[in-house]
Every structure is written in C-alpha cells, then in structure tokens.
Structure 1
Amino acid sequence: MDKIKQVAIVGGVHGNEFSGIYLVKQFQAEPERCRRSSFTTETVWANPAAYAANKRYLHSDLNRQFKNVDLANPELTDYEQSRAKVLNAQLGPKGAARTDLLIDLHNTTSNMGACLILTQAGPFYNKMAAYVKMNMPDAIISRDEDHFAAEEHALMCTLGRYGVLVEVGPQPQSVLRQDVLDLMQTMVQHILDFVELYNQDNLPALPKKTEAFRYLHSIKLPMNAAGERIGMVHKNVQDRDYQPINPGDPIFTLFDGTEVLYKGEHVVYPTFINEAAYYDNNLAMSLNEKVIIELE
C-alpha cells in the first residue's frame, strides 16, 4: 500500500493571509500538535518577505510560479520566482518530491467557510475528501482543475507527490479572525488524522458519495471600452459562495442601476465572490459545477 512518510504544512505563500502563518508558528512552537506516529511533519513559512512588507507578494504571485517549465527557467529571477525555486529544492523537486503530501494554507476575503481544494484526482484524494467531509460536515470540497496533470499546475501544493489547499474565509487581508483560524486548524487536524489512519490501513467506513464542486471558469466585473469598472457584484450574490445561480438570476448591478443577468444555460455555483486579491485582474467570481466524488 502507498504510504505517506513526509508531510509539509506550508503557510504564508501570500504575505497578507495571516491564518496560515500563525498556524505554522503555533505548530513550530508546539510540534506535537501536528505530529503523528506514521509520518514526519515539516512546517514551512513560504514568503516571510511579503509578510514583512504586509503585501500579498513583492513582485509576482508566489502561488503561480510552480509550473515545471517556470521552475526550470533561469531567466525568471524576481523575488517570488526565485523563492519558488528555493522551495522546490527544499520540498520537491516537483515530479520526484521528497514530500509525500503538501498542505498549503490560505485565506480568502470571500465567504467560503472552510474549503478543501484538490488539484488532482485519484483514490487517495477521494478518500481524504470523504473523511474530511464526514468529520466536518460544513466543509466544502473543491476539485478545482483536477483534470490537469500536476506539471501543468502553477500552484505550490503540486510540489508534493500529493498536494491540497486549505482555503478558509471570510477574513480581511492582514487580519486574524479566531473563528477562521479555528476552522483552518480543525481541517488540518482532520487531514493529519486521515493520513495516519490511511497509513495504518485503518480508515473507518467512509461515505460512498461526497458532494464536491469543480471549477468551470471565472468571470470579470463589468467594464467599459476604456477598461474602467462600471458595476459591482449584485447584492443577492454577495457572500453567497457555493449557493446556486440560476439562468436569468442577477449577478451584477451597474452603477446606473441596471441589473446584469446570468446568461448561462445551467445552474452554477459561485466562489471567490468579490475576492479582494483578484481585483487587480477585475475578477468578480469563479463559477463551479456540482459533482459527486464516488469511492470504489
């Protein structure tokens, strides 16, 4: 049976997402909290320079630097691009990593609750999703773009042989909230417990079907020809992450009062609604479809 021998818990990929940073600091102060008998746990603070500057990043988004082609490109040398290569050497190398499972901790300003984001498919991920959802019923399981091979993903968690993101919100940038930190810690503990039971071939009976969401595409805020914003997320959508949007529902309100309706043909489920970090790209939200994870 496949065994997980080395786990890495990474916080602070984005310097203004504080829950992961402070959870890693807590684990470093009390390592027994993330220790289990069947594997070794390493804790990593990914981007301390961005934290010191109180920014998401200094030059480029660190969590978009981990495609194989970019890690191998010597011309990519800004701070985060260089930092990605250091982390790849420390935790990877990607494709032949010494890290069996990388747990990457993130906050969102959106009202998403506690989300386990899977970037790959397979029995290990499916069992983890079922275990976490069984023990944390309010958790959201996201399959993101799990149809892409790991080498095509730019996310840091794909450095590991397995990798997941724990995304928790709502939390403003550069702020700590106890409820959000508690949710993050609870989900991480469930993941660590799952790995321990998985390694020991002692998992409990898991649900055969687990509800999840798969990313479809993102949509932008309303813009004019000059690239200026002319509207905002509709009040009926705001803070309703993972709640259905039906064809014909309003999704934006223009500043002149006009409502913009969703023109898709199928029900979708929005997330990262009005995420502050995505305003530089004018992204309004990501749209998802509901899927079912089935265990064999």
Structure 2
Amino acid sequence: MSKISKVAIVGGTHGNEFSGIYLIKKWQQQPQLLARASLQVETVFANPKAHAENKRYIDADLNRQFSAQSLADYDLANYEQSRAKALHQQLGPKANPNMDLVIDLHNTTSNMGPTLILLEQTPFYKQLAAYVKMQMPEAVIFLEEAEDDMAQHRFLASCGKYGVLIEVGPQPQSALRQDILEQMERMTGYILDFVDLYNQQAVPELPKLLEAFLYLDTITLPMDEQGERLAMVHQHVQDNDFKPLNPGEPLFRTFNGEDIYYEGNKTVYPAFINEAAYYDNNLAMSFLDKVYIEVN
C-alpha cells in the first residue's frame, strides 16, 4: 500500500462559489486545523480573478479544462485555459503527479446537501467514501461517469494521483450560508482523517455495502426551434435531489401551465436540479441510478 502524503485542498475553482474560498482563507490563517500526522496539506485558490469579478469564470469553466488533450494545446490560451495549465503543473502533471490527493471544493444552488463526488471506484475511493458516510450519515456519495483514460478527465481534481470533489448546497451564488460552509468543513476534515488512518493502516471496520448514486445522463430544459425555453423544472422535482423520479411523473411545467412527464422506463434519481450555473447551457438536471457498491 503506497502512502498518500501530499494533499491539495482547492477552493474557488468557480469564483462565485464562496464556501471553499472562505475556508481556504481560514485554513491559510490557521493551518493547524488541517494538520494530520502523516500528511503535508497545501491550500490552493484556483481562480482568484473570477472571484475578484464575482463571476463563475472569466472566459470558460475552469473545471472543464483538464483533459490531456486540452492541456497539451497551447492555442487554448484564454484565462481559464492558461490557468488550468499552471494548476496542472502545480498539482500534476497527470503522468507523475506532485499531489497524491486533490480535494476540490464546490457549492451548488441545488438541494444536494453534503455530496462527495468520486472520480473512480477503486478500493481507496470506496473505503474513503464509506468512512465519510460512517462519520457523516447525511453525506451522499456520487459516482462520476467512468473514464477509460483518466488523463482525458476534464475536472481539476483529476490532476492528482487521486481526486475527489466536495459539492455542498443549496447555496446561492456569491453568498454564504453557515450550515453549508460547516458541512463542507466537516467533510473535508473526515477525508483528511481517513487518509491519515489509511497511511497508518488503522482504518476502522467499514460497512461492506455502500449506497451511492451513479451518473447516467444530463437532460436539458425543453426548447423551441429558436432556442427559447418552453418550460421550467416542475415543483414535483424541484429541491428533491437524490429522490426517486418514476416514469409518468411530472418533470417540467410549460409557461402555458401544461405538464411534461418523465417518459423513461426506469426510476431515476435527479441531482443538480435546476442548478443556476448550468442555465447558460440550458441544462435542467442530471439523472442518476441508485447503486450499492462493495467496499473492499
């Protein structure tokens, strides 16, 4: 078992997601809060320019710029594309990362609670998730769509040997909520605790099965031929992240008051419901499957 010695905690990948930014500032003033016996922990402020301008990003979503193909293309040189290349050198490079673990902190306007997003399903990730869930029962485990080649993963967290995202909401953009910030701080602490125990081969007995939600697809808001929105997320779905949506149940309500129903053939579990940051792409929500993974 190789130890995980160097950890980077990243805040402000999106400049208007405030919890991670303010926690990074706190931890930089009080680094003892992150200290664990077997770890070297660094804090990184990913997109200070976007934060200064109170925007999610300046030119492009920073958290979509980290595929090997994009990182190798120096014609991609807008602010976030250039920032990604600098962060990749600091945290990665992916072929031989400087960081053993990258923890990327995010807020969502959706009612997702404290959510731990895993990039892979190897034994380390599954044990980490099980430990966090054991310490923080309200936590939700979100399994990202598997990549055949992690080098092509677009998320910042993929720069490290291991990488996770903490996604906590609901919190409005460019605002702070005490409960949301404290949930993010607690989850980050449990991750550091687990890694320290993992390094010492002192992980406690974990549950054998872990409930999780596996990404399936992302759906868009109904649009007309001119690209105008025809409907909004139905109140039956709104704020019900990770709750079942069954075939035949209402999904959208048109502006004329007509319901549009979910026509799938299986129950799904929506998340990122009505996420404000995704409106520029007319995304309504993600569909997930509830699964149980074996912890080994």
Alpha-carbon displacement from aligned partner over 1:12-71 (angstroms, at most 9, x marks no partner): 000000000001111101001111110100000000000000000000000000000111
Alignment of 1:1-296 (within 5 A): 1-296=1-296
* Matching residue's letter, 1:197: L
Return the offset for 1:146: 2.9
For 1:112 and 1:232, locate their aligned partners in 2 and report how far apart those are by CA, in whole Å.
Answer: 19
For 1:284 and 1:72, locate their aligned partners in 2 and report how far apart those are by CA, in whole Å.
Answer: 32
Contact kept in structure 2, 1:230 and 1:255, CA below 8 Å: yes
* Matching residue's letter, 2:65: Q
Alpha-carbon displacement from aligned partner over 1:175-208 (angstroms, at most 9, x marks no partner): 0110000000000000000000000000000000
* Matching residue's letter, 2:92: G
Return the offset for 1:147: 4.3
Contact kept in structure 2, 1:24 and 1:43, CA below 8 Å: yes
For 1:50 and 1:167, locate their aligned partners in 2 and report how far apart those are by CA, in whole Å.
Answer: 19
101-110 vs 137-146, which moves further: 137-146
For 1:109 and 1:232, locate their aligned partners in 2 and report how far apart those are by CA, in whole Å.
Answer: 16
- 4+ aligned runs moved over 4 Å, structure 1: none
90-99 vs 166-175, which moves further: 90-99
For 1:150 and 1:32, locate their aligned partners in 2 and report how far apart those are by CA, in whole Å.
Answer: 33
Contact kept in structure 2, 1:121 and 1:147, CA below 8 Å: no
1:58 counterpart SS class: coil
For 2:258 and 2:225, locate their aligned partners in 1 and report how far apart those are by CA, in whole Å.
Answer: 18
Aligned residues: 296
For 2:173 and 2:31, locate their aligned partners in 1 and report how far apart those are by CA, in whole Å.
Answer: 27
* Matching residue's letter, 1:134: M
Contact kept in structure 2, 1:64 and 1:155, CA below 8 Å: yes
Return the offset for 1:120: 1.3
Contact kept in structure 2, 1:271 and 1:286, CA below 8 Å: yes
Return the offset for 1:149: 2.7
2:38 counterpart SS class: coil
Alpha-carbon displacement from aligned partner over 1:124-173 (angstroms, at most 9, x marks no partner): 00000100011100100001113443112100000000000000000000
2:291 counterpart SS class: strand
| Structure 1 unaligned residues grouped into runs of 5+ | none
Q: What TM-score comes out, normalization by structure 2 length?
A: 0.99
Contact kept in structure 1, 2:147 and 2:153, CA below 8 Å: no
Return the offset for 1:95: 2.3
What RMSD over aligned residues (CA atoms) do the two structures have, in Å? 0.7
Contact kept in structure 2, 1:112 and 1:168, CA below 8 Å: yes
Contact kept in structure 2, 1:71 and 1:84, CA below 8 Å: yes
* Matching residue's letter, 2:205: A
For 1:51 and 1:162, locate their aligned partners in 2 and report how far apart those are by CA, in whole Å.
Answer: 26
Q: What TM-score comes out, normalization by structure 1 length?
A: 0.99
* Matching residue's letter, 1:192: L
